[in-house]
């Protein structure tokens, strides 16, 4: 094992050196150079789409329809970042002209500029083999910021990762860019992952994955002699609150909508609704029954890896074993022998949920926990027990009432995105998006890993005082390079 790690460490050293060497050129490259790279990568993905989707489906079982859509999203966001680069989002200047006199009324000439952090270690996700992988949003936003990238692929889709990186290498060669702009570290152990995070040439880390793995790497990033930013998405239970008004027209349609969201991608979405808060009354009971029925009719596909399937079975069994939890929808006999897991649905009351931290843990798979509440006050208490979440969904809170305002305030306190309709699965790529939240949803709740604001993670502000024009112009991204 030590020999294997030493060989991997050497590959990391080589990739990091390439990224470090390329950073000097790429960090100073013009907007035209960066946007051309992003567009070229999008074009290349689409040219090789049929072959890449076939490989991805073989490795992940996500299906051609889902994977074609995800590849299209990946190309879309690459081009979207190219457009923002061209518009100067990475080269914004804030200029305060000099004012004669002594401070505080007087001041020197100050120009606030943004500079790329440097090489970013990007840890690919398991559940989005295109959109959160080699050329996914983290890579795209880092490249848009002027940062080189060191890709650490996910072991759930190794061949796809190699093919996509080979595609990226081809684009770099065609555009005359250094190969270290998108460096690559093939399959690596946990020790090697920690080594990568601690490497002196790495300036920031982008991570999407499990809480345990993310926390280990976050600690490594902060244990360095010179700590670096760690942008980690670690997991989320995404509460969905069903208010009485949401059931005024019946329970079947909302139950079917929610069941489809819970099982989308076999529940392997970071925004999958895992906690369903509903009133402990007749309508709430009818909804819970309808949800169990709708879930039982769902036919999820196989999970991404055997390890994830095992993790899901363990998590579901752990929830089921907790005192005060009942099983609304159990797995059929011998379900663990089936290729795909059956959906699960559990139920508890508000007091039990609030008191038992084990019930606040994510079940990464097609399962959810219903929490029955008496009234608005208990709903607020349940949300207050959730430490942090990527999303909170509020069904039936359209009216402007004191109760709904209080509920919206509570949701905004714990989540990065609050929905007043629809389901949380499916995250739009746009300027207003926020995909992050308080710990443990993410390590940096003021940042997003989806949408064009993601570029801000990899930029560092610098104030230039009484600077000559050439120094200011050098940060504008308009020079030919």
Q: What is the 3-state secondary structure (H, E, C) of 391-405?
A: EEEEECCCCCCHHHH
Q: Three-state SS string across 157-212, please?
A: CHHHHHHHHHHHHHHHHHCCCCHHHEEECCCCCHHHHHHHHCCCCCCEEEEECCHH
Q: Which of 59, 233, 347, 362 is the catalytic position?
A: 233
d(CA 180, CA 21): 7
In sequence order, what DSSP letters do the residues of 253-281 get, joined into one string?
HHHHHHHHHHHGGGG--TT---EEEEESS
CA distance 433 to 64: 27
Task: State how beta strands 389-395 and 367-373 pair.
Answer: unpaired
Burial class (CB in 10 A: 0-12, 13-18, 19+), 176: exposed
Secondary structure (3-state) at 145: helix
The strand pair at 110-116 and 94-96 is best described as antiparallel
Beta partners for 393? 240, 419
Tell me, yes or no, if 266 is annotated catalytic: no
Q: Are 204 and 222 in contact (CB under 8 A)?
A: no
The pair of structure tokens assigned to 175 is 């555009």
**CA proximity to 419, closest of 258, 247, 264:** 258
Catalytic residue, chosen from 59, 266, 270, 362, is 270
Cβ proximity of 4 and 190 under 8 Å: no
**Tokens encoding 92:** 């914004």
130: helix, coil or strand?
coil
By residue count, the chain amounts to: 481
The position carrying tokens 């019930």 is 359
What is the C-alpha to C-alpha distance for residues 397 and 155, in angstroms, rounded to an integer?
A: 42
Looking at residue 134, the DSSP 8-state letter turns out to be T
> Angle at CA 18, nearest 5°, toward 17 and 23?
100
Asked about 270 being catalytic, the answer comes back as: yes
Kindly list the distances between the CA atom of residue 67 and the CA atoms of 72, 77, 357, 398, in Å, as whole numbers in the listed order: 8, 15, 35, 34
312 membership: H or E segment, kind and range: helix 306-320
Residues designated catalytic: 233, 270
């Amino acid at each position: 094992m030590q020999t294997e790690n030493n060989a991997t460490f050497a590959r990391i050293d080589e990739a990091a050196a390439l990224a470090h060497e390329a950073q000097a050129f790429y960090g100073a490259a013009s907007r035209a150079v960066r946007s051309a790279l992003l567009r070229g990568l999008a074009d290349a993905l689409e040219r090789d789409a049929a072959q890449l989707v076939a490989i991805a489906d073989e490795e992940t079982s996500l299906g051609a329809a889902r994977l074609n859509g995800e590849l299209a999203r990946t190309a879309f966001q690459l081009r979207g970042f190219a457009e923002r680069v061209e518009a100067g989002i990475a080269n914004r200047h804030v200029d305060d002209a000099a004012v004669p006199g002594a401070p505080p009324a007087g001041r020197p000439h100050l120009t606030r500029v943004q500079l790329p952090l440097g090489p970013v270690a990007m840890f690919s996700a398991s559940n989005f083999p295109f959109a959160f992988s080699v050329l996914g949003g983290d890579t795209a936003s880092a490249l848009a910021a002027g940062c080189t990238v060191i890709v650490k692929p996910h072991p759930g889709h190794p061949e796809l990762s190699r093919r996509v990186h080979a595609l990226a290498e081809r684009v770099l060669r065609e555009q005359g860019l250094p190969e270290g702009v998108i460096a690559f570290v093939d399959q690596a152990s946990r020790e090697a992952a920690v080594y990568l995070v601690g490497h002196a040439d790495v300036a920031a880390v982008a991570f999407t994955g499990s809480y345990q793995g993310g926390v280990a790497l976050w600690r490594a990033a902060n244990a360095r002699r010179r700590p670096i930013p760690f942008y980690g998405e670690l997991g989320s239970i995404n509460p969905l609150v069903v208010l009485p008004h949401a059931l005024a027209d019946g329970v079947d349609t909302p139950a079917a909508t929610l069941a489809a969201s819970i099982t989308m991608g076999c529940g392997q979405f970071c925004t999958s609704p895992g906690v369903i808060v509903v009133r402990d009354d007749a309508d709430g009971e009818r909804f819970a029954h309808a949800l169990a029925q709708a879930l039982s009719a769902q036919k999820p596909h196989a999970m991404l890896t055997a390890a994830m399937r095992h993790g899901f079975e363990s998590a579901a069994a752990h929830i089921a074993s907790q005192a005060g939890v009942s099983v609304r929808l159990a797995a059929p006999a011998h379900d663990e022998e089936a290729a795909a897991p059956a959906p699960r649905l559990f139920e508890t009351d508000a007091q039990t949920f609030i008191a038992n931290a084990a019930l606040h843990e994510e079940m990464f798979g097609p399962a959810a926990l219903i929490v029955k509440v008496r009234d608005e006050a208990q709903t607020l208490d349940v949300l207050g027990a959730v430490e942090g979440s990527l999303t909170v969904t509020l069904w039936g809170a359209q009216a402007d009432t004191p109760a709904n305002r209080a509920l919206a305030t509570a949701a905004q306190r714990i989540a990065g995105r609050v929905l007043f309709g629809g389901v949380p699965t499916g995250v739009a790529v746009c300027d207003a998006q926020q995909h992050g939240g308080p710990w443990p949803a993410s390590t940096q709740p003021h940042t997003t890993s989806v949408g064009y604001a993601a570029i801000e993670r990899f930029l560092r502000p610098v104030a230039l005082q009484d600077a000559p024009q050439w120094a200011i112009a050098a940060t504008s991204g308009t020079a030919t390079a």
